[in-house]
Structure 1
Amino acid sequence: MSNTDDTTDTDATDDESTDKQLVSGWHGRYYEDFEVGDIYKHPFGRTVTETDNVWMTNVTMNLNPMHFNEAYAAETEFGERLVDGTFVIALAVGMSVIDISVNATANLGYDDIRHHNPVFHGDTIFAESEVLHKRELESRDHVGIVETELRAYNQHGDLVLSLERTPMVLKRSHAEPSAAEPPGWPEGIGTQPEDL
């Protein structure tokens, strides 16, 4: 048996010769990408904390003691504080942005909002959206309207919220997305093609 090592040392300059390129990340959906009946399960769940509830309650001046008075809430049918419903709406809508409205030019409305079950501190919320309708506009050729139903669930699979959401979404042909200038980035910031 030989004690000879068959491995060779890699020259440090090999890494430097690797071709670099700008690669597009997720740019969100454009109007053309939406199909009626498609359901998008939005990435990541989010656990609701007591701090979330206290801050939202204070910031919005929601004076219902169900949200900030533990002694009062303990005597109710729920036995503990409930998370402010407007926080649940904001959280679920925020979770949907990555799939629905990264390229929206406006949110036209939130309709048929329903709280189906209470949310408590420590619950983890998951959200999904279903495309209900889409239509082009005669008055604006650079956008279209997409109607969606947003549904949020807790960690037990209980539906806690549903609502219909209607963003006006940019068409791809007018967005001109690129790896060097993704949505939200000003021109010339970060690595540019001429840097490679």
Structure 2
Amino acid sequence: MQLLGHGFYYQDWSVGWKFKTLTRSITETDIMNFVGVSGMTEELFTSYWYLEEHTNFEGRLAPGSLVFALAEGLVIPSTIARTGLAFLNCSLNVDGPTFAGDTIHVEGEVTEIKPAKKGNRALVRTLNKVYNQKGDLVQTYDPLRMMRGRPEED
């Protein structure tokens, strides 16, 4: 029987391989729950008055860290479920604002694969770009992950 939802092993990928995730809309509830749980109660995220009086943003602004977390929530189940071993690092750029009501997806490209000398695993880096429903780039990040190899190659 075939197991559905299992992620790719590092050998399934090659540098230059590209993917695109499904979409996910960001809600007002997502934002309020995230800022409440994280303690990130900055007025940019909690006060319509502050946004109206002190910024040129229209609508409830989403924290960049929330957008990153939701982007990872799109990437991980569709690419590395059960094969990702560790998230090691990344650089992250917020390229534009994201608001309640925006719908995001991630487009990624494998940029580096370095097999380990032992342990049937590899370091894999991707360049992930997060776009909103208008096609605007809102975030870019390049996670380096430790990934499993195929079991038969142990």
Distance (Å, rounded) in 1 between the aligned partners of 2:31 and 2:4? 33
Identity in percent: 32
Q: TM-score, normalised to structure 1's length?
A: 0.73
Following superposition, the deviation at residue 129 of structure 1 comes to 1.3
Is 1:73 the counterpart of 2:51? The answer is yes
Q: TM-score, normalised to structure 2's length?
A: 0.92
Q: SS at 2:141's partner residue? A: strand
Following superposition, the deviation at residue 175 of structure 1 comes to 8.4
Is 1:48 the counterpart of 2:48? The answer is no
Alignment partner, residue 130 of structure 1: 109
The structure richer in strand per residue is: 2
Alignment partner, residue 141 of structure 2: 163
Contact 1:101–1:167 (CA under 8 A) maintained in structure 2:
no
Following superposition, the deviation at residue 120 of structure 1 comes to 0.7
Contact 1:142–1:174 (CA under 8 A) maintained in structure 2:
no
Point out the structure with max Rg over C-alpha.
1
The partner residue of 1:105 within 65, 74, 85 is 85
1:26 to 1:175, Cα distance in 2 relative to 1, 3 A: farther
Following superposition, the deviation at residue 108 of structure 1 comes to 1.0
Q: Which runs of 4+ in 1 moved over 4 A?
A: none
Contact 2:28–2:60 (CA under 8 A) maintained in structure 1:
no
Distance (Å, rounded) in 2 between the aligned partners of 1:175 and 1:25? 21
Alignment partner, residue 36 of structure 1: 15
1:81 to 1:146, Cα distance in 2 relative to 1, 3 A: same
Cα deviation code 1:43-70 (max 9, x no counterpart):
x211100000001111111131010001
Contact 2:24–2:103 (CA under 8 A) maintained in structure 1:
yes
| Structure 2 residue identity aligned to 1:82 | L
Is 1:121 the counterpart of 2:100? The answer is yes
Distance (Å, rounded) in 1 between the aligned partners of 2:5 and 2:63? 32
Following superposition, the deviation at residue 26 of structure 1 comes to 3.7
Greater relative CO, 1 or 2 (CA 8 Å, sep 6+):
2
Structure 1: gaps (5+ residues): 1-21, 177-196
The structure richer in helix per residue is: 2
Cα deviation code 1:83-106 (max 9, x no counterpart):
111110000111111343221111
